[in-house]
Amino acid sequence: MTHRTIETSHAGIAIAQSPGEGPTVLMIHGNSSCKEVFRNQLDGDIGATYRCIAMDLPGHGRSDDATDPERTYSMPGYADAAIELMRELGHERYAMLGWSLGGHIGLEMLTRTDAIRGLMITGTPPVGRGEEQLAAGFLPSEHMGLAGQRDLSEEEIDAYARATCGINAPFEPFLREAVARTHGHARELMLGSFARGVGANQREAAVNAPVPLAVVNGAEEPFVNNEFVAALPYRNLWEDRVHLMDGIGHAPFWEAPEAFDVYLERFLESI
């Protein structure tokens, strides 16, 4: 796996790239996380076969904080940063895997570029605009309030890191360090703008996806309303179903990588 930083108009963006020489796959992590959460895919058979690129969002991981937070820390801003990154790297077409916030960014990107071959989302409810839609797609949780909170205490950092990766998932120090490092304005501005309806209507983006859309969620998802996700009238849903992984929480690719990668590999082969 190789690491480097690419300069963009939003920020210097840190990436990790797997050794595979096959078609390109962009991976985008969740809120207050980092690219290392995709380590099992990058270092495993997926990464050996495909050219996997995992990015740290601006304000996250080893990427720089946004030069203009108001411009970047939103769904449209993050989507534009990812599109610019891939253009700078010379990739005209690529598949995507988006986790949680990363899945929302992927849905936003579907409305802004035709470079995406197919999108897999996990832990991402495709909600419409506004607070009512957010409430329909997400489950009430004591940790959801932290997702848009600028400053976190040491206890809140630990609680958020453990909850988002999954209570039964392996917990490593980098997961906590990623939450602690995240630019607080990134949480505050992103969730505030999302609640106000800034950006694409993600429900419509998912329902009318112009490329195959795969949805693979943990059946024990603590944050996402799986019933809401399954009920949407998708027109281009991969394998014609929302896949649920029994006994798994919010980050199935981290909690159960061997089982999750069966879905991911099948999806990538199909597109």
According to DSSP, residue 242 is labeled -
Q: Which of 29, 25, 41 is nearest to 181 (CA)?
A: 29
How many residues are listed for the chain in this entry?
271
**CATH number of the domain located at residue range(s) 2-270 in this protein:** 3.40.50.1820
- Tens place of pLDDT per residue across the chain (271 aa): 899 999 999 999 999 999 999 999 999 999 999 999 999 999 999 999 999 999 999 999 999 999 999 999 999 999 999 999 999 999 999 999 999 999 999 999 999 999 999 999 999 999 999 888 888 999 988 777 788 889 999 999 999 999 888 777 889 999 999 999 999 999 999 999 999 999 999 999 999 999 999 999 999 999 999 999 999 999 999 999 999 999 999 999 999 999 999 999 999 999 9
* Residue type for position 195: A
How far apart are alpha carbons 1 and 5 in whole angstroms?
14
Angle ∠(175,13,65) on CA atoms, nearest 5 = 75
pTM for the full predicted model: 0.97
User: Any idea which residue has 């989507």 for tokens?
Assistant: 79
| H or E segment and range at residue 252 | helix 252-255
How far apart are alpha carbons 98 and 55 in whole angstroms?
11
pLDDT of residue 69: 98
